[in-house]
Amino acid sequence: MKTAGAIALVTLGCANAFVIPAGRTVVRAETARAAEKINTIEFELDKPKVVTMDSVDAGGKKVYCRCWKSGTFPLCDGAHVKHNEATGDNVGPLIVSGPKKE
């Protein structure tokens, strides 16, 4: 791993590289593949990949789950709060808002 100032450049194989902020933990791809499944709510298991497309009206807002624990997935129901308290994690939702109405 090469470091330059506050970032680290991590190279995977030949051409794949990504930047990680200094102080963050790097997990090797082999370790990540062996980890537990994220999709524990069994959402759209018949599909090779879960992909959600949506739109937000002007002045509107949608809050999406990033912890995979929501009972209303892909929308957030606040389940991350209980998860964070139990694990010490800091996961939260993705909030998307449309442009303000004129």
Sequence-separated (6 or more) residues with CB below 8 Å from residue 70: 41, 76, 77, 78, 79, 80
Give pairs for 42-46: CB < 8 Å, separation 24+.
Answer: 43/68, 43/73, 43/74
Residues 52/32/92/83 CA torsion (nearest 10 deg): 120
61 in active site: no
Can you tell me whether residue 14 is helix, strand or coil?
coil
Annotated catalytic residue: which of 37, 47, 49, 100? 49
Active site (catalytic) residues: 49
